[in-house]
Amino acid sequence: MLADKDQNSTPLTELGEFDLIKALTERIQLRDPSTRKGVGDDAAVLHFEDADTLVSTDLLVEGVHFNLAYTPLEHLGYKAVVVNLSDIYAMNAQASQILVSLGVSNRFTLEAIEALYAGIRMAGRHYNIDVVGGDTTSSASGLLIGVTAVGYAKREEVVYRKGTKPMDLLVVSGDLGAAYLGLQILERENEVFKVNPHTQPDLSPYAYLLERQLKPEARQDIPPRLAKLGVKPTAMIDISDGLSSEILHLCDQSDVGARLYEDKIPLDPQAIRAAEELNLNPITAALNGGEDYELLFTLKAQDYDKIKDHPNLSVIGHIAEKDKGAYLISRDGGAIPLQAQGWDALKSGQGKKAGKAE
């Protein structure tokens, strides 16, 4: 979705690094009171009173994490921010600032990079966070986007992957598997387009799946909702690499086992229909697909009554003793060992993913 190189396009070579940075950042507005100084100096200045500071970073690489054949640059900028903010919310914290670094090849125009940055600014407005710095450089291998997210929380409110105990409840927000199925639809239609570039697919039946893949949302709402319900998770993680992988991360960090129930995994009806069309199991998409950016967390069993009627939270299992292992309990009662089959950027033989690497 690059801007065409016509008379209205501006080659980056006409600007240079400093003019490019100025063009991209001159419209940035500061929102968070913890931001003392943003873009424009040698370093940003942040101030958090009586709070722990949280920092997370991700690198997105063209051809590995995203495919520009079907990913609009504005959506990509938005998503690059969201996948980083999700890590902050997964610590039960408030995100406040981001730093954005870009590596761009000479095939990109100023207008293309401005479209990317329009998505970044849109995410900043939506999540009320500030862009406070970053870097730009040339790239010989396409587009690279590095985002660092900063957040804060009171020390007693921070939630780690470690901390859950046997008999705690496994809870997930939203629904799972839709982002992976959206990616499969996009890949299918991209192959059709390569054969017949004049094909105009009707993607309206897959609108929800495509949105979950191309423009996901981080669950900024869950930590304050849990606080309002008087609940603090005992452990938490965001679902970037598939439900199975994330449950096993919690088990490994907390030295426990788990029981996940197949019939409790939340699936959107559109995801179920698409899975049938693609001859895929929607449960497999939920377990291994990743990129849902929902929050997976554990709660003490006595907190069940506080969340049982919440429309965006599903109890999907419970924590067990370590020697009991981690298993998926199928609809017929069978026990299947959970395996970390989610996407891994460093393993060979795996397909492209349009989101984040662990």
Per-domain boundaries in the chain: 12-157, 169-337
User: Each residue of 271-292: pLDDT tens digit?
Assistant: 999 999 999 999 999 999 999 9
Contact by Cβ (8 Å): 68, 108? no
What is the domain class of 169-337 according to CATH? alpha beta
Determine the average pLDDT of the residues in 325-353: 75
Assess whether the region 12-157 and the region 169-337 belong to the same CATH fold: no
Residue 351: predicted pLDDT:
43
Question: What is the chain's mean pLDDT, rounded?
Answer: 88
Which range of 15-29, 98-112, 123-137, 310-324 scores highest in mean pLDDT? It is 310-324
Which span out of 3-7, 138-142, 333-337, 349-353 was modeled with the highest average pLDDT? 333-337
Higher pLDDT pick, 254 / 349:
254
pLDDT of 218 higher than 90: yes
Which residue did the predictor score with more confidence, 5 or 125? 125
* The pLDDT of residue 326 is above 50: yes
Give the model confidence (pLDDT) of 1-34 as tens digits.
454 455 577 765 665 555 655 655 666 566 667 7
Can you give the pLDDT at residue 17?
53
Can you identify the CATH homologous superfamily of domain 12-157?
A: PurM-like, N-terminal domain (3.30.1330.10)
